[in-house]
Chains A and B, each alone.
Chain A
Amino acid sequence: MVNWHRLANPTSFLKWSRRVLPWASVTTVILLAAGLYLSLFVAPPDYQQGETVRIMFVHVPSAWMALFTYAVMAGASATGLIWKSPLSHLTAKAAAPIGASFTLLALVTGALWGQPMWGTWWVWDARLTSVLILFFLYLGYIALWEAIDDYTRAAKSTAILALVGVVNIPIIKFSVDWWNTLHQPASVLRMDGPSIHPSLLVPLLVMGGAFTGYFIVVLLIRLEREILARQAQVLRRAQLRS
């Protein structure tokens, strides 16, 4: 029973995960409450954007997390391919729908800001287009897991897809510098430090913390599900063999 030996590691992971989950959940709720309060009541309207600046407190953390989740997914995929650790592939699989959701939010909230500020919901500039490609990468990755029945083959194929898609990440990050985009360049993650006022930066960072907490909570829930599903699969196969 080689598989059970391998899954012993995920089993001890589950013990740890179930201990961490309540703490992560409470922290996320507190950060989210503080973030929403700061975003809606404390942050002043921007002198150019007016009240639409509040959309940024959802839009920017969503976009950060869209990229961060992909980095987690690609890192886990690489780990899975190199060390063949089952937990890695399942982590990548569990992360994908979270990343797709954050990317969708970045696109939709961006459109809701673009219409009043740019006068258009959408432009095919390098930033917007590369983020749309990121969304399709997530969907393709999820679809590939569904399409292949054999676990080992599915894990390998999806990991390769995730790693090929990594090329899109620097394109998204630097699209605003490399091309003449309608989308503005970075104002927080810059070499010379943030260029936005603390009254807007603080709510942004707190919301970023809340979104990170949400990511951890949902990832742990989804990962436990994937581990149990895999255990059930292995158990069923063992019963068929005996």
Chain B
Amino acid sequence: MEPVSEFLHMGGYALFVWPAFAVAAVVLTVLLVWSIRDLRRERDLLESLPRRRSKAQPAEAEDDS
């Protein structure tokens, strides 16, 4: 057998080994992408809020974003 197909064959356990790695890749990628998307949305939302001139200002000034 060719080395590549032998590797993909996983000693006859390909149907269990590859799905295990695939499901981990999918779940961890989806969580990462969702988390980044949620953060971007929240940043945009906070930008769009009209800022008040008040005591809130000093804390605001500290934020470098």
A contacts, CB < 8 Å to B = 1, 4-5, 7-8, 11-12, 14-15, 40, 45, 50-52, 54-55, 58-59, 62, 97-98, 101, 104-105, 108-109, 112-113, 115-116, 214, 217-218, 221-222, 224-225, 228-229, 231-232, 235-236, 238-239, 242
Nearest B residue to A239, CB-CB: B52
Known: A104-B27, A222-B38, A236-B49. A45 touches B11 (CB 8 A): yes
Partner pick for A228 among B11, B46, B51, B62, CB 8 A cutoff: B46
Q: Once the chains bind, are A12 and B62 in contact (CB under 8 Å)? A: yes
- Chain A positions within 8 Å of B17 at CB level: 51-52, 54-55, 112
Count the B residues whose beta carbon is within 8 Å of the partner chain — how many? 36
Partner pick for A58 among B7, B10, B20, B42, CB 8 A cutoff: B20
- Chain B positions within 8 Å of A104 at CB level: 27
- Chain A positions within 8 Å of B27 at CB level: 101, 104-105
Kindly provide the distance from the CB of B6 to the nearest chain A CB, expressed in whole angstroms.
10
Known: A232-B45, A235-B49. A7 touches B59 (CB 8 A): yes
Q: Once the chains bind, are B11 and A51 in contact (CB under 8 Å)? A: yes
Q: How far is the CA of A87 from the CA of B26 in the complex (A)?
A: 30
Q: Once the chains bind, are A109 and B20 in contact (CB under 8 Å)? A: yes
Knowing that A52-B13, A112-B19 are A-B contacts, what are 16 other residue pairs whose CB atoms are under 8 Å apart, sorted by A's residue number?
A: A8-B59, A55-B16, A59-B20, A101-B27, A105-B24, A105-B28, A112-B20, A218-B35, A225-B38, A225-B39, A228-B42, A229-B42, A231-B46, A232-B49, A235-B49, A239-B49
If over half of B's interface residues share one DSSP class (helix, strand or loop), that class is named, otherwise mixed; here it is: helix
B contacts, CB < 8 Å to A = 7, 10-13, 16-17, 19-21, 23-24, 27-28, 31-32, 35-36, 38-39, 42-43, 45-46, 49-52, 54-56, 59, 62-65
Q: How far is the CA of A45 from the CA of B12 in the complex (A)?
A: 12
- Chain B positions within 8 Å of A62 at CB level: 24
Q: Once the chains bind, are B32 and A218 in contact (CB under 8 Å)? A: yes
Partner pick for B55 among A4, A98, A228, CB 8 A cutoff: A4
- Chain B positions within 8 Å of A52 at CB level: 13, 16-17
- Chain B positions within 8 Å of A217 at CB level: 32
